[in-house]
Amino acid sequence: MNASLEGKVGLVTGAAIGIGRSVALEMASAGAIVMVSDVDERGGEETVREILDSGGTASFTRCDVSVAEECANLVASTVGAYGTLDLAVNNAGSGGAAATTGEYDPAEWRRVVGINLDGVFHCMHFELPAMLNAGGGAIVNVASVLGLVGWPQASAYVAAKHGVIGLTKAAALEYAGRNIRIAAVNPGFIEGGHLAEAGITSGSEMHAFLTGKHAMKRLGTHAEVAKAVVWMLSDEASFVTGASLSVDGGYTAS
Ligand SMILES: NC(=O)c1ccc[n+]([C@@H]2O[C@H](COP(=O)([O-])OP(=O)(O)OC[C@H]3O[C@@H](n4cnc5c(N)ncnc54)[C@H](O)[C@@H]3O)[C@@H](O)[C@H]2O)c1
């Protein structure tokens, strides 16, 4: 069974690379028109090009999710370009510095929470009225397994991701009677991307440590997360709201 998003208009934040790009491509292949967004214009345009090359419809709007006005502009641009907003994936995120809480730089804390938690709030704040105008919609917020369990030297990120799951539940209750479903996805550690950039590839000690955290003894792929997100956006998930789905190879099962 393939989830269909045929005829829907959706936006994805942080879609220049990684999970966000994979979600944008998967949404387009399920039939959605996609507004790709990121602070990285070059990567975002590359995502758009990949969608256009495969016969889909997409365009790019730059948006720093930590700035409320830019999120307002992203939603307005999407509605301006395509007439409505049915779907949103609030994916933009950043890991931040590694330090114990007692030594965590308050400015870095604000930056990390500003992107990972304020960013999701800013986006939803403008997406929800647009979806009410459209008569309904579906939102998936990208949290993390670190929204469910702790991780040392990452208190800002861990706190923000726990916050995303709480925000998802609160908003889901508010909009459940108004035809808008809101859910979160909790990816485990994903192969490639910024892990690879940090030298965490197969054969390294850290890679072996991370794979050992997952019951399936491997890391996930961007596509595995994207497929779950598209399912949650689709009518196949019509009774799913306020939930967070762990796509984590069993990381949080123990
Ligand atoms: N990769 C993993 O192992 C993993 C695991 C669990 C959760 N996640 C979450 O998944 C999401 C995507 O992660 P990823 O691994 O693809 O990351 P990534 O670093 O590969 O991509 C993140 C994207 O977000 C963009 N971005 C950063 N700050 C932004 C801002 N202020 N406004 C708009 N865009 C911004 C970046 O430019 C980048 O394109 C994040 O929310 C991350 O926390 C990732």
**What CATH number does the domain containing 81 carry?**
3.40.50.720
How many structural domains are present in the chain?
A: 1
- Which atom of ligand 1 is found nearest the CA of 43? 39
Q: Would 96 be classed as within a structural domain?
A: yes
Residue of the CA atom closest to atom 8 of ligand 1: 144
What distance in Å separates the CA atoms of residue 151 and residue 147, rounded to the nearest whole number? 10
Residue of the CA atom closest to atom 20 of ligand 1: 18
Pocket test for ligand 1, best of 26, 35, 36, 39 (most atoms within 8 A of CB): 39
* Averaged pLDDT, 39-62: 98
> Is residue 6 scored above 70 in pLDDT?
yes
Judge whether 8 and 88 are in contact, CB under 8 Å.
Answer: no
Q: Is the CB of 16 under 6 A from ligand 1?
A: yes
- How far does residue 14's CA lie from ligand 1's centre (Å)? 6
Q: Would 132 be classed as within a structural domain?
A: yes
- Which atom of ligand 1 is found nearest the CA of 17? 39
> Is residue 112 scored above 60 in pLDDT?
yes
Q: Would 124 be classed as within a structural domain?
A: yes
Q: Would 101 be classed as within a structural domain?
A: yes
Q: Is the CB of 24 under 6 A from ligand 1?
A: no
Q: Would 211 be classed as within a structural domain?
A: no
Structural domain for 13, as ranges: 9-193+223-235
pLDDT in tens, 61-101: 999 999 999 999 999 999 999 999 999 999 999 999 999 99
* Averaged pLDDT, 123-133: 98
Residue of the CA atom closest to atom 12 of ligand 1: 19
What distance in Å separates the CA atoms of residue 217 and residue 220, rounded to the nearest whole number? 10
Q: Would 244 be classed as within a structural domain?
A: no
- How far does residue 94's CA lie from ligand 1's centre (Å)? 5
> Is residue 235 scored above 70 in pLDDT?
yes
Tokens of 86: 């049915």
Tokens of 212: 């050992």
Q: Would 208 be classed as within a structural domain?
A: no
Q: Would 253 be classed as within a structural domain?
A: no
Query: Which residues are the active-site residues?
Result: 157
Write out 167-225 in H/E/C secondary structure.
HHHHHHHHHHHHCEEEEEEEECCECCHHHHHCCCCCCCHHHHHHHHHCCCCCCECHHHH
What distance in Å separates the CA atoms of residue 93 and residue 244, rounded to the nearest whole number? 17
pLDDT more than 70, % of the chain: 100
Q: Is residue 194 very low, low, confident or very high in pLDDT (cuts 50, 70, 90)?
A: confident
Q: Running DSSP on this structure, what letter comes out for residue 238?
A: T
